[in-house]
Amino acid sequence: MFLEILAKIDDVMYYPILIIIMAVALIVIVLHLPNLPHMFSMIFWDAFDFHAILAGVSGSMLLCTATALMCLSSGVEISEEVNGTPYVDNALIYMNGKKRPGNLFRKIFYAVCVLIIFFGAVIPMGAAWAAADIGMDAGKLSFWK
């Protein structure tokens, strides 16, 4: 019930908030136009930081590999008609005894997603990087080998 109310509020508020954020961003950029070259250099400098690239690539590879192994071990055949997201959905359905996940599972899943997003939005940037570093270093621990 609570998640359904949140979804309705989100449907109504999404575009007005998007327009407001874009308008404010455009105003701030125009007011600080002389700083634009420095801002772009900071973006590119941080975007090509080796640590950030390595963390992003290894995290993506880990997630993709886990998803691929899960799907391939399900026994569901991939085909031209069923690939990508529908293939992952079919693998999850097959592994759940050919039943779609129930409402309780979906509600819990959505609630966890909302909590993770909220947590990620409110923690300090240093804490977020520390959590990412901990996650990256966990694979190096001896009990994982």
**For residue 134, is it within any domain?**
yes
> Is there a single domain that holds both residue 39 and residue 58?
no
Confidence class for position 145, pLDDT limits 50, 70, 90: very low
Q: How far apart are CA 96 and CA 29, in angstroms?
A: 50
> Is there a single domain that holds both residue 92 and residue 109?
no
> Is there a single domain that holds both residue 94 and residue 107?
no
3-class SS letters over the chain = CHHHHHHHHHHHHHHHHHHHHHHHHHHHHHHCHHHHHHHHHHHHHHHCCHHHHHHHHHHHHHHHHHHHHHHHHCCCCCCCCCCCHHHHHHHHHHHCCCCCCCHHHHHHHHHHHHHHHHHHHHCCHHHHHHHHHHHHHHCCCHHHC
Residue 23 has pLDDT above 90, yes or no: yes
For residue 72, give its domain range: 50-100
**For residue 65, is it within any domain?**
yes
Structural domains in the chain (count): 3
Q: What does R_g of the chain's alpha carbons equal in angstroms?
A: 21
Lowest mean pLDDT among 5-9, 32-36, 133-137: 133-137
Residues contacting 120, CB < 8 A, separation 6+: 128
Q: What is the pLDDT of residue 137?
A: 59
Confidence class for position 144, pLDDT limits 50, 70, 90: very low
**Exposed (0-12), middle (13-18) or buried (19+): which is 88, by Cβ within 10 Å?**
middle
| pLDDT tens per residue across span 28-82 | 889 989 988 888 888 777 767 766 666 666 667 777 788 888 888 888 888 888 7
